[in-house]
Structure 1
Amino acid sequence: MKSFFKYVLATITGIVISTFILLAIFVGIITSMVSSVGSSKEVVVAKNSVLYLSLNFPITDRTEPNPFGDLSIPGYGNVKSLGLNDIVGRIRGAKEDSNIKGIYLNPTTIQTGFSSLQAIRDALLDFKSSGKFIYAYSDVYSQKAYYLASVADKIYVNPQGSLDFRGLASSVMFMKDALDKIGVEMQVIKVGTYKSAVEPFLMNQMSDANRLQVNSYLNSIYSQFLTDISDNRNIAVDSLKSIANNYLIRNADDALTYKFVDGVKYKDELLAEFREKLGIDAKKDIPTVSILDYTPTENVSSSSERIAVLYAYGSIVDGEGVVGEIGGDKFSRELRKLRLDDRVKAVVLRVNSGGGSGLASEIIWREVSLLKAVKPVIVSMGDYAASGGYYIAAAADSIFADETTLTGSIGVFGVIPNLQGLLNNKLGLNFDVVKTGKFADVGADPDKPLSAEEKAIYQIEVNRFYDLFMKRVADGRKISIAQVDSIGQGRVWTGQQALGLGLVDKIGGIDQAIAAAAKKANLDSYKISNYPSVDDTFSSILSTSKEKIKLWFIEDEVGEYHKYLKSYKDILNQTGIQAKIPYTVEIY
């Protein structure tokens, strides 16, 4: 008994001490934030400066509010990052900044899709048009990093470094055998020959139809990838293909031999070249400002008329959602506000989503349709605007996509887990039920497989929603339902392919979409306003969930692999009919 009380007392003492420690850490963080907010000053850019870009963080469509971004948390370092909008905006600002003479591009691995990468690349090309220089240097270039670096005036690599150039690949993780081993059956009801989001649950390899579509869009992206590199490095596309196919570049010397880089240098040699180019004494530091800290001067229009840019990125979910998700209720409310705001003359809906909840997609579609009835709505597609992401875009006046955007995937599915093997056979758990009707326990009893009749009922509902999806696309794109079905069936297309199919109107980024919105609204001068509004620091602290904080730390710990954990969590949280792109499309 004395031992029992000793352990209880020790446990209580441990809890009290832990609570005080956590409270002290929290107070310290808040104090640091208050100090940071009170002392934060705009970074002064010295004359003859170089803008530094490493882009070694996950790039979302828009900079997400992060109350811990400016803090250096012990064991985790700084968790600051930028969204695509600010990366592109700051590069543009640097182009006009007389104090900035050039860009030092230092990429290794870049955590974003090809469409976002193309947008950054285009901004760098525009920067070069001013006559300012871009130098790229890295110890290791991934394929995405090299694609970005290929715009530079000079590309250097560490003499013992490497450059990856083997062609693009896309892989899928299949989990059927793992599910079989633990006794879980994923009961799937779907529409669409190419709707392969559910294949990882049912198979151990791609279906023929899925392999066909992946091969098609992968080669479309690869073609753009090679063409862009060819244009900037003056190497023929056929030569690039041969180099990749034969894996001829395996080290820094190979990269130099095949003219992928302009030289091999150590870091000190690069800095010496910078000093010479800028006319800086060998003993003086090179004035440098990171893109994370750079705040260019903005030319804000005095016009009272606005073009609203509404950012919709992440999975489409029911309800409000969190930062990085498209909540059906939240985004329909944002669209309603824009419809009723007389200052807003046109709206650009920036979509970067592989879809999600079918119901939430329909709710958002409704508000896009109502908005379009009173003012122009132009869609700008990012890395993805597929399935539910295409659903919410379909009602717009016109749709812009990049060549490498993944879109389409017009199809739907539903998944109902059957845990009978796990619960009954593995864990020895059994359930019994009393019900008032034949179907009262459908979908509620975890250890009961669907009967043929129950599957037929679910299939009818999935078919009904697919018919609705096709009608939304047909009405928005002014084509027949039969035509939608012929290019639908869940098939994924690139933006370049979608242009020829009539799923998008023009190839272009968000700037072109904004210009089109201004033209349709007959605006000569206007102010661009971004939505949803971003919380201030203290509101961000209060609204930051435990899950979001954990995700930040996980991202810092595991890097780009955090997306697999998020995808797994998304699967577990799926309810109802899903309009979602096949799994997580990984191209490397």
Structure 2
Amino acid sequence: MGFFKSFFASLLAIFVTLFLLFMIGLILIISSQRETEPYVRDGSVLEIKIGNTLPKRPPSDPFAMLFSDPSRQPVSLQGIERNLEKAAADDRIEGVWIKMNNIAAPWTNLIALRDHIQNFREESDKFVYISTDDIGFNEQAYFAATAADSIFSPPETFFEFDGFFIQAVFFKEMLDKIGVEAEIFRAGEYKSAVEPFFKTEFSEENREQLSSIVNNVADNFLEAVGERSGHTREELDAILNDQPIFTSSGAYEVNFIDKLLYPEEVEQRLENRVVELGHDELRTISFHRYNRVKRSTAGVAEPEGNDKVAVIHASGNIMPEFDSQSVFPGTEQNITVRNITENLDKALEDDDVKAIVLRITSPGGAGSTSDIIWNKIREAASEKPVITSFGPVAASGGYYIGMAADTIVASPQTITGSIGVFGVVMNMQELFNEKLGIHFDAVASHDNALWLTQDKPMSEGARRSFQAYIDDFYDVFLNRVAESRDMSIDDVRAAAAGRVWTGNEALENGLVDVLGEMNDAIAIAAEKAGIEEYSVETFPKPKTFMELFTGSAQAEIKSWFRPEIKELEYIDPVFHILKNDPRAVIARIPFDHKVH
């Protein structure tokens, strides 16, 4: 008896201790959020550390807020833009020191980062130094770094200059071996999302469109490198094809890097620069401390009046709200009818909101869901100006919902188009009957009632009906584009067929109106609303700490039971839709187009 008393007393003590630690952490977070504005000394240098990710908006991870050093939390593109805007106007800031290494981020984000650095230099006439550490620069990081005054790297650090590629996984032979046949239905010869099910390599059509994407990235990258280094395109191509560069010393030899310096030598060089400007020593202020500096203190003029432009973020796969959850990590954030409607209604009901910018980052998803959201946005556009800003990808269903706006703004590197649809029905008869010894029997009122049972091939009648279902939705898609873009059906067909386009190409064929970033979309929205001074309000609103904590805890627990199969993550949304609605018509690009 004494043992159990001691055991439960110890257990209670552990829970009480954990609860107290949690409360202490919560109090520390709340108090840190109320910290006073930091003092910035004259002659300071803003220090920004960019890790291997570059999210558009600040990540909301309550576990990181509780247990990690704020200085180690990732910086966001939005935060960099705001701090550079303040630093440009702040007389106490002499320049910026950006520390970065390998960055894994969409090219649209990298272009925006590079633009922010260039804008800071042009508006302020202040310096920007960029340096790396023992990890070095990959091509994404170096692309952003080309906007700086000076680039530094340790002499024996990695430097990537070898070109770009897109890779996909094909599993037709695996399905053959286990006795599964994927019955494919699609509209559009470029609609290649289903190719992994029935091919072992890219089709010629898919290879054509993917080559265009890769070459577009290479063109932008090499243009920036050429401007920085003084090399011609022919010289850069020769380096890439003959002897790619893998070291910072090799990059220095061809004028990609200004100086080979160890970190302490970079700091000394910064101090020399600050002393030349009339200050006695180097003073730095971290990105996270400078976050708390008010815009007004830094000298940035605040808008007068109450007018606002609402920015609604729509990110993820377009899906119905199924009760079940995906088995793969990272797929909980979806675009649904409910969350789009809620945010649109809030913006429409607020009289101070004069225009709406819809920021779309989506490869697409369920066709029926896309159509309902398209109609919701179209209705909103009849009440207030609605501008679409395309993120790294806004294709297929992502394009479908975005085309309802008054104006479409896309980055040159945006992946868009993919106007086409597909459906997949799995025939597992051989797997069940011959491989596993499982047999099914059923009683049906009509011959085609069992067309989705997946234990037998589809009948010819069911195949014809399902293909007609696909074709009908494709016709609806084409007509929606023609109506929204004021194009003829023939012109739409020429730009459709499931073909994926870059932002540059989409502008040429009439699928988008303007090349630019989200700030350009906001400016266009304000102009259409007839307002000159305005603030920007973002939807959805940031969650409270407890909402973030409980939601993150649930996701963390679910992730313990999920397989880490990164190669198949891109196909999971397709399986997820089909699992809940095998009849679904899917408007989605082939996979997540990551250019490496």
Normalization by structure 2: what TM-score? 0.87
Which of 43, 60, 67 pairs up with 2:55?
A: 60
Matched, 1:467 2:475: yes
Cross-structure match for 1:570: 573
- Counterparts in 2 of 1:51 and 1:563: CA distance versus 1, 3 Å: farther
Native 8 Å contact 1:316 1:355 kept in 2 = yes
Matched, 1:104 2:97: yes
Give matches, 1:19-168, under 5 Å.
25=18, 28-40=21-33, 41=35, 44=38, 46-47=40-41, 48-72=43-67, 80-129=73-122, 130-138=124-132, 139=134, 140-168=136-164
- Counterparts in 2 of 1:453 and 1:150: CA distance versus 1, 3 Å: same
**Deviation per residue, 1:454-488 (Å, 9 max, x gap):** 22221111111111111111111000122111111
TM-aligned CA deviation for residue 275 of structure 1: 2.1
Structure 1 stretches lacking a partner, 5+ long: 1-9
Identity of aligned residues (%): 32
Q: Matched residues in 1 for 2:45 and 2:595: separation? A: 32
Matched, 1:209 2:211: no
Native 8 Å contact 2:448 2:459 kept in 1 = no
Tell me whether 565-574 or 405-414 shows the greater mean CA deviation.
565-574
TM-aligned CA deviation for residue 68 of structure 1: 2.1
Give matches, 1:193-208, under 5 Å.
193-208=189-204
TM-aligned CA deviation for residue 57 of structure 1: 4.4
CA RMSD, aligned part only? 3.3
Give matches, 1:231-242, under 5 Å.
231-242=227-238
Tell me whether 275-284 or 239-248 shows the greater mean CA deviation.
275-284
Cross-structure match for 1:479: 487
Q: Matched residues in 2 for 1:500 and 1:107: separation? A: 35
TM-aligned CA deviation for residue 519 of structure 1: 1.1
- Counterparts in 2 of 1:158 and 1:460: CA distance versus 1, 3 Å: same
Tell me whether 82-91 or 194-203 shows the greater mean CA deviation.
82-91
Alignment partner of 1:416: what SS? strand
- Counterparts in 2 of 1:178 and 1:87: CA distance versus 1, 3 Å: farther
> What one-letter code is carried by the residue in structure 2 that aligns with 1:507?
L
TM-aligned CA deviation for residue 206 of structure 1: 0.3
Matched, 1:263 2:259: yes
Cross-structure match for 1:6: none
- Counterparts in 2 of 1:350 and 1:228: CA distance versus 1, 3 Å: same
Native 8 Å contact 1:332 1:367 kept in 2 = yes
Alignment partner of 2:65: what SS? coil
Give matches, 1:325-474, under 5 Å.
325-443=334-452, 445-474=453-482
Tell me whether 145-154 or 99-108 shows the greater mean CA deviation.
99-108
Native 8 Å contact 2:365 2:573 kept in 1 = no
Q: Matched residues in 2 for 1:116 and 1:460: separation? A: 40
- Counterparts in 2 of 1:60 and 1:183: CA distance versus 1, 3 Å: farther
Native 8 Å contact 2:274 2:281 kept in 1 = no
Matched, 1:534 2:542: yes
- Counterparts in 2 of 1:384 and 1:518: CA distance versus 1, 3 Å: same
Alignment partner of 1:352: what SS? strand
Q: Matched residues in 2 for 1:569 and 1:161: separation? A: 37
- Counterparts in 2 of 1:33 and 1:251: CA distance versus 1, 3 Å: same
Native 8 Å contact 1:189 1:462 kept in 2 = yes
Q: Matched residues in 1 for 2:289 and 2:337: separation? A: 32
Native 8 Å contact 1:351 1:389 kept in 2 = yes
Native 8 Å contact 2:47 2:284 kept in 1 = no
Native 8 Å contact 1:71 1:79 kept in 2 = no
TM-aligned CA deviation for residue 382 of structure 1: 1.3
Native 8 Å contact 1:49 1:99 kept in 2 = yes
> What one-letter code is carried by the residue in structure 2 that aligns with 1:396?
A
> What one-letter code is carried by the residue in structure 1 that aligns with 2:99?
N
Normalization by structure 1: what TM-score? 0.88
**Deviation per residue, 1:468-525 (Å, 9 max, x gap):** 1111111110001221111111111111111110111111111111111111111122
TM-aligned CA deviation for residue 324 of structure 1: 3.4
Cross-structure match for 1:5: none
How many residues get paired?
570
TM-aligned CA deviation for residue 284 of structure 1: 7.8
> What one-letter code is carried by the residue in structure 1 that aligns with 2:106?
G
Structure 2 stretches lacking a partner, 5+ long: 296-300, 326-330, 579-583
Q: Matched residues in 2 for 1:413 and 1:87: separation? A: 40
> What one-letter code is carried by the residue in structure 2 that aligns with 1:416?
V
Q: Matched residues in 1 for 2:8 and 2:496: separation? A: 57
Cross-structure match for 1:4: none
Alignment partner of 1:164: what SS? strand
TM-aligned CA deviation for residue 167 of structure 1: 1.7
Alignment partner of 1:350: what SS? strand
Cross-structure match for 2:298: none
Alignment partner of 2:592: what SS? coil
